[in-house]
Amino acid sequence: GESVGLHLPTLSVQEGDNSIINCAYSNSASDYFIWYKQESGKGPQFIIDIRSNMDKRQGQRVTVLLNKTVKHLSLQIAATQPGDSAVYFCAENGDGTASKLTFGTGTRLQVTL
Amino acid sequence: EAQVTQNPRYLITVTGKKLTVTCSQNMNHEYMSWYRQDPGLGLRQIYYSMNVEVTDKGDVPEGYKVSRKEKRNFPLILESPSPNQTSLYFCASSFSGSGELFFGEGSRLTVL
């Protein structure tokens, strides 16, 4: 079946550096992608989304890049801070809505001082 | 404060004893959904509801029931819990069609 996956289960980044979290997807019909952040003991929190008619979208300190050719999604965090330490999930939905999101297994971002 | 509230947050129960996990949101969202989170498997959707009286199965609906009689509430019912339903459960809501889901704090369920 279709799946959403992540390249690295754990990413360690020094405070102040940029972080890049990657995600591969296999559903070629997917046209809507979302990144969530989950801090320890809490529910996931929406970060940013992107539709397939875009290659790049920027938020506050975050940028999502979408490469439809290779079915790859990435989340870039600028000037990583200790508060960015969390598990990051990518999610996708083939019909462009959030009714049946498929989540990846997550990448843990550890920010070292 | 805009929020999704789940209860109970923690529960230990025994096989076969019916239980309900409540979920309530105060944002007037049409869409609500239940997920379970297990190590190495990420979040998997159990059931979702596009609006009052409209529910549909997610990817792992077996052993669960839901109802949506009011817009703000979306309870998850385990009629006869089994140990493989031991998990961390999340309720989420959003405006219809939006990927910006608002999640509750989670309910950790252990079935012995």
The residue type of A44 is P
Model confidence pLDDT, tens digit, residues B36-57: 999 888 899 999 999 999 999 9
CB contact under 8 A, A98 and B97: yes
The C-alpha atoms of residue B75 and residue B70 are separated, in whole angstroms, by 10
Distances from the Cα of B40 to the Cαs of A5, A14, B37, B99, in angstroms?
11, 25, 9, 23
A72 with A22: CB under 8 angstroms?
A: yes
The residue type of A104 is G
**In terms of pLDDT, which residue wins out, A97 or B58?**
B58
Q: Is B42 on the interface with A (CB under 8 A)?
A: yes
- Which region among A26-40, A51-65, B12-26 has the lowest average model confidence (pLDDT)? A26-40
A89, burial (CB in 10 Å: exposed 0-12, middle 13-18, buried 19+):
buried
**What mean pLDDT is predicted for residues A80-99?**
86
Structure tokens that stand for A99 in this block: 């009714």
What confidence score (pLDDT) does residue A3 get? 42
Among the listed residues B25, B2, B11, the one whose alpha carbon sits nearest the alpha carbon of residue B87:
B11
Q: Is B77 on the interface with A (CB under 8 A)?
A: no
What confidence score (pLDDT) does residue B2 get? 86
Q: Parallel, antiparallel, or unpaired: how do β-strands A45-51 and A32-38 relate?
A: antiparallel
Which residues of chain A have a CB within 8 Å of the CB of B97? 97-98
Q: In the structure, what pLDDT confidence band is assigned to residue A94 with cuts at 50, 70 and 90?
A: low
Structure tokens that stand for A108 in this block: 């843990």
DSSP string covering B9-62, please?
A: SEEEE-TT--EEEEEEESS--SEEEEEEEETTTEEEEEEEEEETTEEEE-S--T
Q: Is B90 on the interface with A (CB under 8 A)?
A: yes
Phi and psi at B95, nearest 5°, equal -70, 150
> What distance in Å separates residue A6's CA from the closest CA in chain B?
11
The C-alpha R_g of chain A, in whole angstroms, comes to: 13
Least CB-CB distance to B41: which of A44, A49, A105?
A: A105
CB contact under 8 A, B94 and A91: no
CB contact under 8 A, A42 and B97: no
CB contact under 8 A, A32 and B99: yes
> What distance in Å separates residue B101's CA from the closest CA in chain A?
7
| Peptide bond between residue B8 and the one before it cis (omega within 30 degrees of 0) | yes
Q: Is B39 on the interface with A (CB under 8 A)?
A: no
**What mean pLDDT is predicted for residues A25-53?**
92
Among the listed residues A25, A33, A24, A6, the one whose alpha carbon sits nearest the alpha carbon of residue A92:
A33
What confidence score (pLDDT) does residue A99 get? 77
A63 with A15: CB under 8 angstroms?
A: no
CB contact under 8 A, B105 and A42: yes
**Cross-strand pairs, B64:** none
* Token pair 């998990």: residue: B87
* Token pair 């999640």: residue: B103
